[in-house]
Copies of this chain bind each other. A is one copy, B any other.
Amino acid sequence: MAVRTHGGMGMPAVTPDESAESSVPRRLLAVATRLFAEKGFDRTSVQEIVDAANVTKGAMYHYFDSKDDLLAEIYARVLRLQMSRLAEIARQDGPVAERVRRAAADVVVSTIDNLDDATISFRSLHQLSPAKQREVRDERRRYHELFRSLITEGQERGVFTDRVPADIVVDFYFGSVHHLSTWYHPEGALSPQQIGDHYADLLLTALQSA
């Protein structure tokens, strides 16, 4: 964990804020997220980040241990968010197919809502320290396992085919989702929700065939 002196890092990810009113660490994370997504982690210098956030280097190193730490925070935030959304949907009532459809569409919408995070997270894992890479992988695995448990439940109930292993289904689907950041464009013909529905449709149809 990076932030040393400042309590409320649990700031809502729904209001990333680069403006001057926002707190310094918040602003740094918002700015770093944008810059890492635009230019890549290694191509973004600490100087650029602090300039864009309108703080000094000293201030940045007061709140974060290192540039790596900034990246780790970004990963932590997005994983936390995705996990909580999936957990929320998984624990709802209703037929498993319905829950999978909802989860599948939701992860698309929330990925598009945080497209910079998605860009970073599928491209920059190897730039994290090995220890933090492991943490991220572990959390991601937990996430995949939760999703997979839904698939498995459907297969066991006989509403999903079991021709394809649940593992493969999960990797197949999240590959599609992660790659949204390489082609999605806000000016495109389809809304995030429509794309989410199409993706969920493709997944569900594949699983529900006789």
- For the complex, what is the distance from the CA of A135 to the CA of B195, rounded to whole Å? 27
Closest B residue to A40 by CB, please name it.
B126
Interfacial residues, chain A to chain B (CB-CB below 8 A): 39-40, 42-43, 122-123, 126-127, 161, 163-165, 168-169, 171-180, 182-183, 190, 195, 198-199, 201-203, 205-206, 208-209
- For the complex, what is the distance from the CA of A50 to the CA of B23, rounded to whole Å? 27
B168, A179: Cβ atoms closer than 8 Å: no
Closest B residue to A161 by CB, please name it.
B205
Classify the secondary structure of A's interface with B. Answer: helix
Partner of A175, one of B39, B176, B209: B176
Partner of A205, one of B126, B127, B174, B209: B209
- For the complex, what is the distance from the CA of A172 to the CA of B177, rounded to whole Å? 8
B202, A164: Cβ atoms closer than 8 Å: yes
- 18 new A-B contacts, CB < 8 A, other than A168-B202, A175-B178, A202-B206, are A40-B42, A40-B126, A40-B127, A42-B43, A161-B205, A163-B201, A164-B198, A164-B201, A165-B198, A169-B202, A172-B199, A173-B176, A174-B179, A176-B176, A178-B179, A205-B206, A206-B206, A208-B209
Could you show 13 A-B contacts with beta carbons less than 8 Å apart?
A: A42-B43, A122-B182, A163-B198, A164-B201, A165-B198, A171-B179, A171-B180, A172-B176, A172-B202, A173-B176, A175-B180, A179-B179, A205-B205
B183, A179: Cβ atoms closer than 8 Å: no
Contacts of A199 in B (CB 8 A): 168, 172
Most interface-central of A161, A169, A180, A205 (chain B CB within 10 A): A205
